[in-house]
Amino acid sequence: MLLQEATVATLERLGKQLAIHADDGRVLCLHLGMSGQVQLVDPGDPVKPHTHCTWSLREGRRRLEMRFVDPRRFGGLWTFASRDRLLGDRWSQLGPDALDLDPGLLARQLEGRARGLKATLLDQAIVAGLGNIYVDEILFRARLHPRQPAGTVKRDEVERIADATLGILGQAIQQGGSTVRSWLDSEGQVGEFARSHKVYGRSGDMCVDCGQPLRDDLVAQRQTVWCPNCQRLKRRKR
Ligand SMILES: [Zn+2]
């Protein structure tokens, strides 16, 4: 069952998945997908539409409800008997977390890969935690083309990607995340990071660095925006 009668011991996150560990070893794994939220609210608070699951929590005399809300249903809930089961199952399919990247680790993850950087960085088995908006912003900051084959990236470029990843994610976390229409944080605030987007959602606008118009195209089946002047495709052998 979904941690009935359990005492919550610790929380853990890998990429876009959250694990709630009970002190008896059981684990509840939540994937927020594109629009999922975990709310911690008073039991009397009105229940939002698309609330799929509710837990009653007690901390001392205080009572709270944890609610899993997911309008677009790309998320989900899974339970495991132990952390080892989680690591051997769902989390075995995930690469290192984006916030743990350093240039050496990232270089190993990109090595020999023929796919473009956009597709590679979106692949949760290579790096866990990066979504469409963040990859566009990271590649703009690193000045690399979304279609540059990942295996052709040179060492200084890998360092730029790793730096840009920590910089962009750090900024986004500080500003409360991005905004994709319905996205709200646990306190119901719209994320501020949307105002800092330099390329995402700005196709046709001027590049903030060089003034040329940004362009967009479908890359890795996702709408992708980049600056054709600052992010040039380099013809290289792998
Ligand atoms: Zn530019």
123-134 pLDDT per residue, tens: 999 999 999 999
Share of the chain above pLDDT 70, in %: 91
Query: What per-residue confidence (pLDDT) applies to 193?
Result: 64
How many A from CA of 212 to the centre of ligand 1?
6
4: pLDDT strictly greater than 70: yes
Tell me the CA–centroid distance for residue 121 and ligand 1, in Å: 21
Reported confidence tier of residue 174, pLDDT bands at 50, 70, 90: confident
Q: How far is the CA of 209 from the centre of ligand 1 (A)?
A: 5
Q: Ligand 1 centroid vs 228 CA: distance in angstroms?
A: 7
**Could you give the percent of the chain with pLDDT greater than 90?**
75
Of the ranges 164-168, 195-199, 202-206, which one carries the lowest mean pLDDT score? 195-199
Using the mean position of ligand 1's atoms as its centre, give its distance from the Cα of residue 104 in Å.
28
Distance from C-alpha of 48 to C-alpha of 160, rounded to nearest angstrom:
42
Domains plus CATH for the chain?
8-93 (3.20.190.10), 98-226 (1.10.8.50)
Burial environment of residue 231 by CB neighbours within 10 A (0 to 12, 13 to 18, 19 or more): buried
Lowest mean pLDDT among 102-106, 152-156, 186-190, 234-238: 186-190
Specify the length of the chain in residues. 238
- The rounded Å distance from CA 157 to ligand 1 centre is 17
* Chain centre to alpha carbon of residue 103: 19
pLDDT at 179: 47
Instruction: Give 191-201 pLDDT, tens digit per residue.
Output: 666 678 999 99
Q: Dihedrals φ, ψ of 12, to 5°?
A: -145, 150
Per-residue pLDDT of 57-91, as tens digits, reads 998 999 999 999 988 777 889 999 999 999 999 99
229 CA → ligand 1 middle, Å:
5
Residue 204 alpha carbon to ligand 1 centre in Å: 12
88: left (phi over 0), alpha (psi -120 to 50) or beta: alpha
Q: 150, exposed or middle or buried, with CB in 10 Å at 0-12, 13-18, 19+? A: buried
Task: Give the per-residue pLDDT at 180.
Answer: 44
Ligand 1 centroid vs 230 CA: distance in angstroms? Answer: 4
Residue 190: pLDDT band with limits 50, 70, 90 = low
pTM, two decimals, is: 0.86
Q: Give the Å distance between the CA of 226 and the centre of ligand 1.
A: 8
Nearest to 29 by CA among 81, 70, 77: 77
CA 87–ligand 1 middle distance (angstroms): 42
* Residue range 142-164, pLDDT digits in tens: 999 999 999 999 999 999 999 99
More confident site: 186 or 107: 107
pLDDT of residue 106: 97
Contact call for residues 128 and 215 (beta carbons, < 8 A): no
